[in-house]
Amino acid sequence: MKRKIIWLFAYIFPNFFVDKAFAYLVSPMQFKIRPHEKDILSKAEKSRLMFNDFEIQMYQWGKGKKKILLVHGWEGNAGNFAYIIERLLQEDYTIIAFDGPSHGASSKGKTSSFEFTELVATLIQKHEPSQLISHSFGSVASIIALGKNPALKIERYVGITVPNKFRERLEEIANYLGLPYIVVSRLITKIESEHDIKVDEINVEDYAQKSSVEKALLLHDVNDRVLPVEKSREVANKWPAARLVEITGTGHYKILGTQKVLNEIVTFLCH
């Protein structure tokens, strides 16, 4: 009943709800950091990086010969990779991670997926990692950053759950909020006007093909309830450098700490 009322009011006053949906897009929620995430973050060398209007919290573990960048998802933080970091430290790595704008311990303010992507490109240029791991929206930011900047070369890339089309993301948000398509349509117009982009041209599968990634491993649980496995399949089917491994028994977040997934990642990166 509540969703029907929201839908009705959104249909009558679409511009008001467009502003609400846009505010949702630029205001990432903050979630409590779990104990094992706090523990791994406490062991990192920390620094602050000025980026646009934000102070970005940077982290580094290890001083190994191989350098890797970790890119967390929207509303996530660097600590989400705790189990992966522990495994990589056993393999002679220098591990670089960060909290995105208005995420984790970075300063807060209105941000966007486009700004997050710009930051990823900046960090790849600055640190020159030979390898990269991303999760969920972090995969969008990473692949688009690499596709826009083919001079940035990555030898091995791991994408743990990979979204594809930006329009579908906007439609999913509207559905989550119980909003009619008229709101989606006007939201797209607003985004395109403010960022000078075409929403239907922001597809991960297209940017993946433009990137300079030698080999890519995509991992996705077939029963992921947050992001359907079909999204990673779409990207893998269009990306010659990529191989998709479909996982069972984990989920969208648990996949980051599952032993068989960690084994797949380490085998791909190190052998």
Q: Which tens digits make up the pLDDT trace of 241-259?
A: 999 999 999 999 999 999 9
Q: What is the pLDDT of residues 161-200, one digit of tens each?
A: 999 999 998 888 777 777 788 888 888 999 999 888 999 9
The answer to the question of residue 149 being in a domain is: yes
**217 and 177 fall within a common domain:** no
Q: Report pLDDT for 3.
A: 54
| Number of domains observed in the structure of the chain | 2
Distances (CA, A) of 52 to 30, 56, 81, 106, 110: 20, 10, 25, 12, 12
**184 and 75 fall within a common domain:** no
The answer to the question of residue 207 being in a domain is: yes
The answer to the question of residue 127 being in a domain is: yes
**192 and 214 fall within a common domain:** no
Q: Report pLDDT for 124.
A: 98
The residue with greater pLDDT, 133 or 20, is 133
The answer to the question of residue 38 being in a domain is: no
Domain interval for residue 20: 1-28+165-197
Q: What is the pLDDT of residues 195-216, one digit of tens each?
A: 889 999 999 999 999 999 999 9
Per DSSP, the chain holds a count of helices (H) and strands (E) of 11, 8
**75 and 182 fall within a common domain:** no
Do residues 211 and 147 lie in contact, with contact meaning Cβ atoms separated by under 8 Å?
yes
**107 and 188 fall within a common domain:** no
**112 and 20 fall within a common domain:** no
SS3 175: helix
For the chain, the C-alpha Rg in angstroms (whole number) is 18
The residue with greater pLDDT, 64 or 175, is 64
**177 and 110 fall within a common domain:** no
pTM of the full predicted structure? 0.94
The answer to the question of residue 67 being in a domain is: yes
**118 and 216 fall within a common domain:** yes
